[in-house]
Amino acid sequence: MGFDLSEISTEALGLMSLTWRPAPIDKPTAFEAMLEAIKINLPSKTFFNGGEFYGGDNINLEYIRDFFVKYPEQRANVIISIKGALDVATLTPEPTAEGINKSLDNVLKYIPDLDIFEPARLSPGVALSETAKALDDAIDSGKIKGYTLSEVNGTTLKEFSSIAKYKPVGVEVEFSIFTRDVLENGIAKTAGELDIPIIAYSPLSRGLLTGEIRAKSDVPEGDVRHHLERFSEDNIKKNVAIVDELVSLAKRKGVTPAQLALAWLRYHSGKTIDGIKYPTIVPIPSSSSAQRVDENFQKVSLTDDEFGEIANVITGKEVHGHRYNEKVAKYLSL
């Protein structure tokens, strides 16, 4: 295929928080954040990660379209990835040929030069071969340059890569200090073996690792996090005890808790740790202001000793509350 993510910076930008919230960020503020990310990363390209369902009425796609209408000269500096093939009303995956084509046709109305498409989830009721062929056909027809998968396990990633004409250019999974499923479900190991970058979403555990959420009242009314177990009043209080230890480490290092959490992820990139050879790790923190982009994109690194200190904090400690509700959880790690 010849298309991969080798040109992007490992400082990438998630666009979900711009629009999938009770009140979307206004476009001027959102565009400042997007432009700041591009400027920081030059001459490398910036990876923009958006979603067809990140808010109603295709608002996330609209923001991306309008950004490049305003800044057409920046298009060459960005790789755009959009996840879709999900029923917006029910949040049910639709990774069928029909579902993928319907979603892609809609996305292309807003972003006709789309780089990467990602079916938001696979489904137990849809054969991998059908999904793979639909994505292969989209590449062959010139609709997209490549595709990524999301929330699959190592066995599925290996099988999908073997039956598809084109290998995934990345695999998007939740990965953070608080969510380390990739170490248990084979994704980290398989992605490393196949040299497929891991795109780490929710790298700050939906804000918990910033140290700014200490009670349920710190989560805005109408925010989707109110529906997640991990954000119940009781679970937040339990998890803050771990966060406070990480905050202390961050203060000692002279960085913010968010910078420490992102540095922990980047530490894995390309290294062999506990017998697992990691591929490139690309965290995609969702930053809704230029100031937050500046914070998250600082190239903070960890020494081996600092990585060990974090390991001492988290090893043997339970993170309370599942990261998704029961309805969505059944489509994880397929």
Which helix (DSSP H) or strand (DSSP E) does residue 271 occupy?
none
What are φ and ψ of residue 117, in 5° steps? -115, 145
Residue 37's identity, in one-letter code, is A
Per the DSSP assignment, residues forming a β-bridge with 93 are: 86
State which H helix or E strand residue 82 sits in: strand 78-84
166 is catalytic: no
Per-residue CA distances from 123 to 101, 104, 107, 165, 168 (Å): 16, 18, 21, 20, 17
Which residue is listed with tokens 């790298």? 203
Catalytic residue among 54, 201, 267, 278: 54
Dist. CA 25–CA 20, nearest whole Å:
9
**Residue in the structure block whose two tokens are 């203060």:** 251
The label of the residue with tokens 């080798």 reads 6
Residues forming the active site: 54
